[in-house]
Amino acid sequence: MTDALSAAVSISFHGLAFAMVLYLISVGLSVTMGMMGFVNLAHGVFAMLGGYIVTSLISRHGVPFGLALVAAAVFTALGSIVIERLLYRRLYGGDELDQVLLTVGLIFMSVAAVTYVWGPMPQPMHPPRWLAGEVDLGFRSFPAFRSFLILCGAALVTALWLGLERTRFGVRIRAAVDNLRMAQSVGINTSRLFTLTFALGSGLAGLGGGLGADLLAISPSYALDNLIYFLIVVAVGGLGSIGPFVAALLIGVADTGFKYLLPELGAFIIYLLTMAILLWRPRGLFGRA
């Protein structure tokens, strides 16, 4: 019995950590999808970039962990503004195929560019000394780095919700997601709102990529390999802020659990589950018709 309980605890713990990373990375994708109707398959590139910045700042330049995370978020956010202004803007409201091709092209470019700069091998993540080892919670001890990840994720998720629900900026975002034309007619500068939101989402993805560098290994094919996870979170969750979080929790815990309990079937179940959910609710668990 205690064995089963301890397995359940560790599945929930690691699942929760994975869910946080998934949510941080995917939430931006969900908002760009909802607001601009833009299929940004290259969203994982920002997460990958964040991961590379964090790992290389720490291991090559000895930058403190916290500072490296901030640098990753800021740099990816700024980089994404350039891409949004230069390329994405042209295709808002355009053909879905064009959006897919543009973003697949960006993924391919990122694969080669990253290989050029950092080489083909995965980058190791060295947690700082104060996060190495375990944290003892009395009944059980947990890896400190993962615990930090969960706390960090929880804090960001709360901040994000409060920001969306309680600030003027959040109101504008929700208005634009709900009804773009109406939001424009009441005088919201949606063009600037798009850019800011896009940068925010990309910055969060960069942060998520950096924080989760030991969960989703940082390698050149990152954006291709993990694309399916990010898409699943957005599609299963539906658009909005709560949906993707629930979906990330579901996927994070289920994926960890099935890989632990049924390693033979591994990823199969998660994909079948996704298909089943989307057959039942094509717009996602929290989507509106």
Partner 1 sequence: MAAFLVFPSYLPLGSQILATILFALSADLVLGYAGIVTLGHAAFFGTGAYTSGILAVNGWGEPISGLLAGALAAAVIGVVSGFLVLRTSGLTLLMQTLVVATLLHEAANRASSITGGDDGLQGMQMWPIFGVFRFDLFGRTAYIYCLVVLFLCWWLARRIVHSPFGRSLTGIRENVLRMHAIGAPVMRRRLVIYTISAALAGLAGGLIAQTTAFVGLGFLSLDRSGTVLIMLIIGGVGRLYGAFIGVPLYMIAQDRFSEVAPVYWYFWIGLLMVLVVAFARGGIFGLVGRLRR
Q: Which residues bind partner 1 (CB under 8 A)?
A: 33, 39, 41, 87, 90-91, 96-98, 100-102, 104-113, 115-116, 120, 224, 227-228, 231-232, 234-235, 264, 266-268, 271-272, 274-275, 278-279, 282-284
Which residues neighbour 282 within 8 Å (Cβ) at sequence distance 6 or greater? none
Contacts of residue 62, defined as CB under 8 A and 6 or more positions apart, other chains included, come to none
Rounded-to-10 torsion of CA 96, 99, 101, 104: -130
Instruction: Extract the tokens encoding 257.
Output: 């659990």
Which residue's CB is nearer to partner 1, number 98 or number 134? 98
Residue type, 164: L
Residue 141's H or E segment, with its range, is strand 141-143
Nearer to partner 1, 149 or 277 (CB): 277
Between 7 and 272, name the residue whose CB sits nearer to partner 1.
272
Nearest distance, CB of residue 148 and partner 1, angstroms = 31
Q: Which is nearer to partner 1, 96 or 136 (CB)?
A: 96
DSSP state of 218: B
Least distance in angstroms from the C-beta of 101 to partner 1: 5
C-alpha distances in Å from residue 140, one per residue of 7, 10, 13, 137, 149: 12, 10, 11, 6, 18
Cβ of residue 198: shortest distance to partner 1, in angstroms?
Answer: 16
Give the nearer residue to partner 1 in terms of CB position, either 12 or 195.
195
- Residue closer to partner 1 by CB (options 17, 223) is 223
Mutual angle of helices 227-237 and 268-280, in 10-degree steps? 30
Looking at beta carbons only, is 59 or 115 nearer to partner 1?
A: 115
CB of 141 to partner 1, least distance (A): 34
Cα 254 from Cα 269, distance rounded (Å): 9
Nearest distance in Å: CB 271, partner 1: 5
Closest CA to 148 of 126, 131, 171: 131
What values do phi and psi take at 115, rounded to 5? -65, -40
Minimal distance in Å, beta carbon 65 to partner 1? 31
Q: How far is the CB of 276 from partner 1 (least distance, A)?
A: 9
H-assigned helices in 135-285: 144-166, 168-178, 180-185, 190-211, 222-225, 227-237, 242-261, 268-280
